[in-house]
């Protein structure tokens, strides 16, 4: 017996999982993403998700909700995995534009572009070895000197950025304050 997608959604609704299956992210998922990562439904990394990616993100959030540390780690990994795909889709839809969707604050665009090229893999959502830029923004006000110092003293990579690049990165990090 073959089950159509509509029938699967109807059957899932009988068991109380229809909203998640049909809509991907739920209101409680959005609350979690806002609280943990400062992401809203309109944020580039969330707004550009495909339906399958949205459903997978919901699963990452929901499946481990009784184990918050594991859930946070899993969601960070998933967001880090899907972000480059979203950037690729952005470039295809906006040729010659920024490497990924622009930040809410246009003044942060040069720093976000540098971050997308050099830093996002570890610092956009954070990792086991690197704090998220959002967390860094909450800790202090950043400037070119502080970013340069952090790169020289707390970083495994030897990134050589110019003073304007450091300043742009500082503006971007500061734009992520809640």
Q: What is the pLDDT of residues 105-120, one digit of tens each?
A: 899 999 999 999 888 8
Domain identity same for 121 and 58:
no
Domain identity same for 75 and 12:
yes
User: Domain end: 62, 93, 124, which one?
Assistant: 93
Q: What is the pLDDT of residues 21-46, one digit of tens each?
A: 435 899 999 999 999 988 889 887 88
pTM of the model: 0.76
Q: What is the mean pLDDT of residues 77-88?
A: 91
For 113-117, 120-124, 158-162, which range has the lowest pLDDT when averaged over its residues? 158-162
Binned at pLDDT 50, 70 and 90, residue 55 comes out as: very high
Which domain CATH number covers 122? 1.10.760.10
- Is 99 inside any structural domain? no
Number of domains observed in the structure of the chain = 2
**What does the alpha-carbon distance between residue 66 and residue 156 come to, in Å, rounded to a whole number?**
34
Domain identity same for 119 and 43:
no
Show contacts of 68-76: CB within 8 Å, 24+ apart: 72/36, 73/128, 75/32, 75/33, 75/36, 75/37, 75/125, 76/125, 76/126, 76/127, 76/132
Which structural domain range is residue 44 located in? 8-93
Q: What is the pLDDT of residues 137-157, one digit of tens each?
A: 999 999 999 998 888 877 666
Domain identity same for 81 and 126:
no
């Amino acid at each position: 017996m073959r089950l159509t997608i509509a029938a699967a959604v109807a059957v899932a609704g009988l068991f109380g999982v229809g909203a998640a299956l049909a809509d991907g992210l739920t209101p409680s998922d959005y609350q979690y993403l806002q609280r943990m990562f400062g992401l809203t439904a309109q944020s580039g990394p969330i707004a550009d998700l495909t339906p399958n990616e949205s459903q997978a993100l919901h699963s990452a959030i929901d499946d481990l909700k009784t184990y918050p540390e594991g859930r946070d780690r899993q969601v960070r990994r998933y967001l880090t995995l899907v972000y480059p795909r979203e950037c690729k889709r952005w470039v295809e839809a906006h040729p010659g534009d920024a490497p990924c969707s622009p930040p809410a604050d246009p003044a942060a665009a040069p720093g976000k572009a540098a971050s997308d090229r050099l830093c996002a893999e570890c610092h956009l959502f954070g990792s086991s070895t690197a704090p998220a830029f959002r967390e860094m923004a909450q800790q202090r006000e950043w400037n070119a000197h502080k970013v340069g110092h952090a790169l020289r003293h707390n970083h495994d990579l030897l990134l050589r950025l110019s003073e304007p690049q450091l300043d742009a990165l500082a503006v971007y990090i500061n734009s992520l304050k809640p």
